[in-house]
């Protein structure tokens, strides 16, 4: 699997590259600024891009903007955004084009490399992965008069895990239920949120989007 890395800190960039090589990823390019990132993404067309939110010159949200721009020019290009902090606002912007293949994680998640590599593969496969911190903020919210309120507590749990990018079997394991029960729950979620029958992956993305905007 070919990867483009955009990270301005040399140590982290090299650390990421080493970690990925150890898991049989191929580093197509490792860059440290938004202009090079955009060029690399559009020329190399990697299987996935790992982008730090803060890049030069202003060290604010250049990485995020570059990732959004790249996805505008190449829709559906899988992007995993890493950051020292997570914001629901940015998660929404990343998910807004509804084409999936998006991840948004805290940088610390790199520490547990198994989960990180899982997340990479999910995003590369068109899935959506949100950091548990975004999810926990969402769970803290009271959505009184929205379709979200119709979901049962169990269905909310399933949806939260779905937003973290977990597959049905992973969700089943986590909640100690059968995979069939999980797929029943997810069908019920799709119906309650008014999502028309279509490709399951797309419906998962739409469900997570509805969750974010509740």
Partner 1 sequence: MVESTVLLIAYIAGCLALAFRRQRAHGGTESTLAGQLRALGPGALLLPVALAGFGISVSVYWPAIAALIAAGIMVVFAPGLAARVLPAALIALGLYGFVLVRGFERGSQTPVLYGAVPAGPGGWATYLILPQAYAFLAVGLWLAWRTTGRSSRLASAVLWRAPEAAGGQRRPRWGLLLLPAVVVAMELLGFSWWFSGNGWAVRSTVVVVLATVLLVILAPALAADLAVVAVFALGIYGIALGALWPLHLPLPSAFTDQVRYGAIWVYDRPTALLAGLQGAGLLAFGLWLVPRALDARTRALFWPAPMPAAELAGRVRQLTQTRADAVDTAAAELRRVERDLHDGAQARLVALGMSLRAAERLIGSSPQAAAALVAEAIQTSSKALTELRDLVRGIHPPVLADRGLGDAVRALALDTPLHTVTDIDVPGRLDAPVESACYFAVAEALTNAVKHSGARHVQIRMQHAGGLLRIEVTDDGAGGADPLKGSGLRGLERRLGTFDGILAVSSPPGGPTMVVIEVPCALSSPKTSSC
Burial tier of 34 (Cβ tally within 10 Å: 0-12, 13-18, 19+): buried
Contact status: 137 vs partner 1 (CB under 8 A): yes
Cβ 9 to partner 1 shortest distance, Å: 14
Contact status: 87 vs partner 1 (CB under 8 A): yes
Cβ 198 to partner 1 shortest distance, Å: 28
Contact status: 140 vs partner 1 (CB under 8 A): yes
Q: Which of 111, 153, 176, 196 binds partner 1 (CB under 8 A)?
A: 111
Please say which residue, 61 or 164, places its beta carbon nearer to partner 1.
61
Contact status: 93 vs partner 1 (CB under 8 A): yes
Residues that bind partner 1 (rule: CB under 8 A) add up to a total of 21
Span 31-70, contacts to partner 1 by CB under 8 A: 60-61, 65, 68-69
Contact predicate 77/101, CB 8 Å: yes
Contact status: 142 vs partner 1 (CB under 8 A): yes
Contact status: 4 vs partner 1 (CB under 8 A): no
Q: Which of 75, 141, 152, 198 binds partner 1 (CB under 8 A)?
A: 141
Strands across the sheet containing 2-6: 26-31, 2-6, 48-52, 79-83, 102-106, 128-130
Q: Phi, psi at residue 79, to the nearest 5°?
A: -130, 130
Q: Can you tell me whether residue 210 is helix, strand or coil?
A: helix
Q: Which residues, 6 or more positions from 18, have their beta carbon under 8 angstroms from its beta carbon?
A: none
Q: Phi, psi at residue 130, to the nearest 5°?
A: -115, 150
**Element (H or E) spanning 189, and its range?**
helix 179-192
In the complex, which residues of this chain contact partner 1 (CB under 8 A)? 60-61, 65, 68-69, 84-85, 87-89, 92-93, 108, 111, 137, 140-145
């Amino acid at each position: 699997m070919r990867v483009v890395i955009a990270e301005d800190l040399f140590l982290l960039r090299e650390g990421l590259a080493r970690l990925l090589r150890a898991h049989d990823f191929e580093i197509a390019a490792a860059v440290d600024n938004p202009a090079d990132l955009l060029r690399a993404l559009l020329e190399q067309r990697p299987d996935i891009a790992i982008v730090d939110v803060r890049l030069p010159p202003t060290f604010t949200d250049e990485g995020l903007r570059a990732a959004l721009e790249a996805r505008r020019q190449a829709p559906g290009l899988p992007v995993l955004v890493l950051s020292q902090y997570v914001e629901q606002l940015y998660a929404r912007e990343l998910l807004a084009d509804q084409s999936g293949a998006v991840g948004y994680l805290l940088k610390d998640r790199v520490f547990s490399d198994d989960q990180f590599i899982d997340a990479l593969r999910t995003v590369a496969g068109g899935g959506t992965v949100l950091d548990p911190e975004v999810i926990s903020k969402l769970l803290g919210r009271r959505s009184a008069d929205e379709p979200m309120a119709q979901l049962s507590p169990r269905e909310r749990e399933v949806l939260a895990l779905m937003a973290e990018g977990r597959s049905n079997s992973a969700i089943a394991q986590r909640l100690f239920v059968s995979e069939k029960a999980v797929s029943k729950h997810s069908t019920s979620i799709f119906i309650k949120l008014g999502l028309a029958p279509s490709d399951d992956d797309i419906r998962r993305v739409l469900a997570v989007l509805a969750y974010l905007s509740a």
